[in-house]
A and B are shown apart, each in its own frame.
Chain A
Amino acid sequence: MMDQTPLIETVNLKKYFKTGRGMLHAVDNVNFKIYKGETLGVVGESGCGKSTLGRTMIRLLEATDGQVIFNGKDILKCSKHEMMDLRKDLQIIFQDPYASLNPRMSVSEIIAEPLKVCKIYNNKKDIDERVFELMETVGLAERFVNAYPHELDGGRRQRIGVARALAVDPKFVVCDEPVSALDVSIQAQILNLLMDLQDKFGLTYMFITHNLSVVKHISSEIAVMYLGQCVEKAPTDELFENPVHPYTQALLKAIPVPNLKARNMQSVLRGEVTSPIDPKPGCRFAARCPYASEECTKAELPLEEISQGHFVACAKFGHK
């Protein structure tokens, strides 16, 4: 697997926002590779730059610096015209199924829109056929074809979002918290659907979430982000069995487990995410870290490989 060329790769990707109080480092030097048919889970708290990362990768936001290489081509350098073509391969499923659908369009219009924009079919009959095929793929009953989003519940709306993303046969899909607005039983249905579609169409996902237990089922590799930086990256099983970075450990401990024996209220992470505006050098987690020392804030900490495929950026634990 490792000697393959990745489907999509980011090289020192940066996205800063100018604010009144200084530069906001939303994404700062992020590097990773995603191989075909695999899923990278990106985990972190709100405000750590996960969504910005997802959007920058498919150029919904312009990056400040760095490269995104898709199929051997730096998409950040593509012209508007070339980008139009690439959009077919790069799609996104948005977080909020309530806000990401146009309330004035019917289900069929929403799903047909990418087909029309990308000029895949040029007659109405083909488009209609494709819409019905997509609705069946994502498990939406045919009777909803003329319904409007407000008539449907959250789970069905998110299925429309999935159908719309799949309409143009993408190769890479960014799933930006696709299940966090849904009930548990519906959440499980959508997760299973996404996994089935991956098997069927060989899709590659980047799955963004704040919930570590959700990504466990769907990802092959997980990257943990904190304030715009990747602090730990490892294959899924390795990350859950052997979390090294103190932030990853804290995230894992914070998940409430439906098991009485796991009652554990003692080791709660203190404080909140600090400001991403003009951050100080060194480890950005140092302010909340129980193991922080002077060494942590001296200089930027690079990701170091501590075992096969397991990368950590930590002054104390991030060495072999």
Chain B
Amino acid sequence: MAEKLLDIKNLSIEYRTDDATYYAVNDLNLSLDKGETLGLVGETGAGKTTTALSILRLLPFRIGVITSGSILMNGEDMLAKPESEMRKIRGKEISMIFQDPMTSLNPVYTVGDQIAEVIKLHEEKLTKEQVDKKVDNLFLMVGIPAERKTEYPHQFSGGMKQRVVIAMALACEPQLLLADEPTTALDVTIQAQVLKMMNDLKQKLNTAMILITHDLGVVAETCDKVAIMYAGEIIENGTAEDIFEGKDHHPYTVGLFGSIPDITSKAKRLSPINGLMPDPADLPKGCRFNPRCPKCMDICREKAPEVIQMSDTHTIRCHLFKK
């Protein structure tokens, strides 16, 4: 088995505001090996982005609070590190691609300068020429002609901007890349280009990746492992084969698959999950999914289900599978 890179144990995160406390992430366990891609899937508000931000310790100051748990990266506890050390890790060992390429670039700097900034910050010994050369190479790597580095973000299309953001994230060859819905804002054909490029680069640089998305199709194309999140919990976790080809699934996973318009099937109607995600300030008792679950039993309304080990790699958090 490959070396373990990231290990999140019993992580809980709350957002505290004057009005209420929002339980964004609840008792989450996740691990990732070197060079592996994990797909973190769930609806808006499931806590996917919060999880990613907590790894980088970028939760909003004083509002987002990690109440319990640990995040180990290469065996070191990320939560115990002082801010000065975290600053050296962000962008160098762990970097993040944000959802919206339009807003994650600075409009008043050229894209070349923005990429060079990352390199200058983390590799102070390099001369100006070496930095320049590195920037050129990065542009080449993501498929943009290097001459365009003197242009400003507004001169690029959405797909090109996302390439710039990816180049920036990969500038220091990080061990872990957090990609938060990197292709949601893009057209299908451009999405396919960006996904292919990310896949190729990941293999070349042997970077591990957490891909956050709500599109199971994207996950099927790129991921080795899949974790499905609902209301701050991982309700099903397994290899891509477990999730896409396995027999047993959490009812929420079944619902997610039923919601996707499938071009290969002839079905006329979709079978979505009824209702909405619960309010994170007021989570239901017992299983978080019980108000929407078609297979809800009495016990589901009373007691929160435990994680059940279906096989070596596959876990489901549901009372249905309790032996």
Interface of A is mostly: helix
Question: Chain A interface: which of B91-99, B147-155, B240-248?
Answer: B240-248
CB of B311 within 8 A of chain A? no
Q: Which residues of B contact A59 (CB under 8 A)?
A: none
CB of A319 within 8 A of chain B? no
Pairwise interchain contact A258-B189, C-beta atoms closer than 8 A = no
Nearest CB in chain A to that of B273: its residue: A185
CA distance A217 to B264 in the complex (A): 11
Pairwise interchain contact B43-A260, C-beta atoms closer than 8 A = no
Nearest CB in chain A to that of B194: its residue: A268
B268 to chain A, nearest CB (A): 7
Pairwise interchain contact B244-A255, C-beta atoms closer than 8 A = no
The one of B259, B269, B273 in contact with A195, judged by C-beta atoms closer than 8 angstroms, is B269
Count of A-B contacts with CB under 8 A?
129
Against B, the Cβ 8 Å flags (1 = close, 0 = not) of A224-241 are 000000000000000010
Pairwise interchain contact A265-B199, C-beta atoms closer than 8 A = yes
CB of A254 within 8 A of chain B? yes
B317 to chain A, nearest CB (A): 18
Against A, the Cβ 8 Å flags (1 = close, 0 = not) of B253-288 are 001111111111001111111101000000000000
Against B, the Cβ 8 Å flags (1 = close, 0 = not) of A146-188 are 0000000111000000000000000000000000000111111
Question: Chain B interface: which of A86-94, A102-110, A207-215, A289-297?
Answer: A207-215
Q: Which residues of A contact B158 (CB under 8 A)?
A: 46
B303 to chain A, nearest CB (A): 25
Pairwise interchain contact B272-A188, C-beta atoms closer than 8 A = yes
Interface of B is mostly: helix
CB of B188 within 8 A of chain A? yes
CB of A250 within 8 A of chain B? yes
CA distance A1 to B255 in the complex (A): 37
Contact status of A185 and B259, CB under 8 A, knowing A217-B268, A258-B244, A268-B196? yes
Against B, the Cβ 8 Å flags (1 = close, 0 = not) of A41-70 are 000011000000000000000000000000
B42 to chain A, nearest CB (A): 9
CB of B157 within 8 A of chain A? yes
Question: Chain A interface: which of B50-58, B104-112, B113-121, B218-226?
Answer: B218-226
CB of B215 within 8 A of chain A? yes
Pairwise interchain contact B220-A260, C-beta atoms closer than 8 A = yes
Pairwise interchain contact A191-B261, C-beta atoms closer than 8 A = yes
CB of A78 within 8 A of chain B? no
Q: Which of B181-229 contact A (CB under 8 A)?
A: 187-193, 195-196, 199, 214-221
CA distance A160 to B267 in the complex (A): 27
Q: Which residues of B contact A260 (CB under 8 A)?
A: 220, 240-241, 244-245
Q: Which residues of A contact B267 (CB under 8 A)?
A: 217
Q: Which residues of B contact A75 (CB under 8 A)?
A: none
CB of B159 within 8 A of chain A? yes
Nearest CB in chain A to that of B264: its residue: A257
CA distance A254 to B215 in the complex (A): 14
Pairwise interchain contact B193-A269, C-beta atoms closer than 8 A = yes
CB of A263 within 8 A of chain B? yes
A240 to chain B, nearest CB (A): 6
Pairwise interchain contact A252-B263, C-beta atoms closer than 8 A = yes
Nearest CB in chain B to that of A257: its residue: B217
Q: Which residues of A contact B31 (CB under 8 A)?
A: none
Chain A contact residue count (CB 8 A cutoff): 42
Pairwise interchain contact A185-B220, C-beta atoms closer than 8 A = no
Q: Which residues of B contact A185 (CB under 8 A)?
A: 43, 255-256, 259, 272-273
Q: Which residues of B contact A154 (CB under 8 A)?
A: 44
CB of A251 within 8 A of chain B? yes
Against A, the Cβ 8 Å flags (1 = close, 0 = not) of B161-195 are 00000000000000000000000000111111101
Pairwise interchain contact B270-A263, C-beta atoms closer than 8 A = no
Pairwise interchain contact B214-A269, C-beta atoms closer than 8 A = no
Nearest CB in chain A to that of B157: its residue: A272
Q: Which residues of A contact B261 (CB under 8 A)?
A: 187-188, 191, 211, 213-214, 216-217
The one of A217, A253, A262 in contact with B220, judged by C-beta atoms closer than 8 angstroms, is A262
Pairwise interchain contact B43-A258, C-beta atoms closer than 8 A = no
Q: Which of A10-46 contact B (CB under 8 A)?
A: 45-46
CB of A309 within 8 A of chain B? no
CA distance A260 to B244 in the complex (A): 7
Q: Which residues of A contact B264 (CB under 8 A)?
A: 257, 259, 262
Q: Which residues of A contact B199 (CB under 8 A)?
A: 265
CA distance A231 to B267 in the complex (A): 27
Nearest CB in chain A to that of B191: its residue: A254
CA distance A254 to B220 in the complex (A): 13
The one of B221, B256, B273 in contact with A256, judged by C-beta atoms closer than 8 angstroms, is B221
Q: Which residues of B contact A153 (CB under 8 A)?
A: 276
Q: Which residues of A contact B44 (CB under 8 A)?
A: 154, 183
Against B, the Cβ 8 Å flags (1 = close, 0 = not) of A243-282 are 0000000111111111110111100111010000000000
CA distance A191 to B240 in the complex (A): 28
CB of A189 within 8 A of chain B? yes
List B residues at the A interface (Cβ < 8 Å).
43-44, 157-160, 187-193, 195-196, 199, 214-221, 240-241, 244-245, 255-264, 267-274, 276
Sample (6) of A-B pairs whose CB atoms are under 8 Å apart: A183-B43, A184-B215, A188-B258, A258-B260, A268-B193, A270-B193
Given contacts A217-B261, A265-B196, 6 further A-B pairs with CB under 8 A are: A195-B269, A255-B188, A256-B192, A257-B262, A260-B241, A272-B190
List A residues at the B interface (Cβ < 8 Å).
45-46, 153-155, 183-189, 191-192, 195, 210-214, 216-217, 240, 250-260, 262-265, 268-270, 272
